[in-house]
Structure 1
Amino acid sequence: MTLIRSNPQYKYERARVIHERYNPSGKSLDEIETVFRQVDLLANTINERTGGQLQAEELHLWVIGQAASPEALADVDPVALYEEMETVFLTHPPLIYGPETLRVLRTLQDQGHTTSLLSNTAFIKGRTLRKAFPALGLAFDFELFSDEEGVSKPNSVFFERMLARVPVSRHDVLHVGDNPVADGQGAARVGLPHLLINVNRQGIEHLLRLT
Structure 2
Amino acid sequence: MVKGVMFDFSGTLFRIESVSEWLGAVVAEAGLDMSADELAACAGRLTVTGALPGGAPPRALPSHLEGLWRERDLSAEQHRAAYTALAREASLPSAELAEALYDRHRTSAAWRPYPDTEATLRALRGQGVSVAVVSNIGWDLRPVFRDHAVDGLVDAYVLSFEHGVQKPDPGLFRAACDKLGLPPEEVLMVGDDRVADAGAAALGCPVHLVDHLPVDRRPNALRAVLGLVQEG
Structure 2 unmatched ranges of 5 or more: 1-10, 52-56
**Which of 202, 206, 221 is equivalent to 1:189?**
202
Q: Which structure has greater strand proportion?
A: 2
For 2:134, give the aligned amino acid: L
- 1:59-80 CA distance string (max 9 Å, x none): 1133114425xxx97xx698xx
Q: Which of 221, 224, 228 lines up with 1:203 in the alignment?
A: 221
The CA RMSD measured in Å over matched residues stands at 3.7
1:11 and 2:22 aligned: yes
Q: Name the structure 1 match of 2:160.
A: 146
Give, as a single letter, the amino acid of the residue that structure 1 aligns with 2:109: H
What letter corresponds to residue 204 of structure 2 in structure 1? G
Name the structure, 1 or 2, with higher relative contact order (CA <8 Å, separation 6+).
2
**What TM-score results when the alignment is normalised by the length of structure 1?**
0.71
Taking the aligned partners of 1:60 and 1:106, their CA distance within structure 2 comes to: 36
In the other structure, the counterpart of 2:5 is none
2 CA distance for matches of 1:114 and 1:101? 15
Judge conservation of contact 1:126–1:147 (CA < 8 Å) in 2.
yes
Of 113, 131, 135, which residue of structure 2 is paired with 1:115?
131
Deviations 1:141-199 (A, max 9, x none): 11122233333221223223223322222221110011111112x12233221001235
Q: Secondary structure at the match of 2:222?
A: coil
The one of 37, 41, 45 equivalent to 1:31 is 41
| Length-normalised TM-score, structure 2 | 0.66
Q: Percent identity?
A: 22
1:60 has 2:73 as partner: no
Q: What amino acid is the match of 1:196?
A: L
Is the partner of 1:162 in helix, strand or coil?
helix
Aligned to 1:158: 172
The whole-number CA distance in structure 2 between the counterparts of 1:151 and 1:20 is 39
In 2: Cα distance, 1:192 partner to 1:77 partner: 41
Cα distance, 1:2 vs structure 2: 0.6
Greater mean deviation of Cα atoms: 34-43 or 151-160:
34-43
Superposed displacement of residue 51, structure 1? 6.1
Aligned pair count reads: 192
The offset of 1:205, in angstroms, is: 0.6
Determine helix, strand or coil for the equivalent of 1:92: helix
Q: In 2 relative to 1, CA 155–88 (structure 1 residues): closer, same or farther, beyond 3 Å?
A: closer
CA contact (8 A) 1:198 1:204 kept: no
Cα deviation for residue 15 of structure 1 reads: 6.0
Q: Is there any run of 5+ residues in structure 1 with no aligned partner, and where?
A: 22-26
The residue identity in structure 1 corresponding to 2:80 is A
Distance in 2, matches of 1:52 and 1:7, equals: 21
Amino acid at match of 1:61: A
* Structure with the larger helix share: 1
Q: In the alignment, which residue of structure 2 is the partner of 1:133?
A: 145
Partners in 2 of 1:112 and 1:204 — Cα distance?
Answer: 17
Deviation >4 Å, runs of 4+: 17-21, 49-52, 199-202
Deviation at 1:110, TM superposition (A): 1.3
Given that residues 13 and 117 in structure 2 are in contact (C-alpha distance below 8 angstroms), is that contact kept between their aligned partners in structure 1? yes
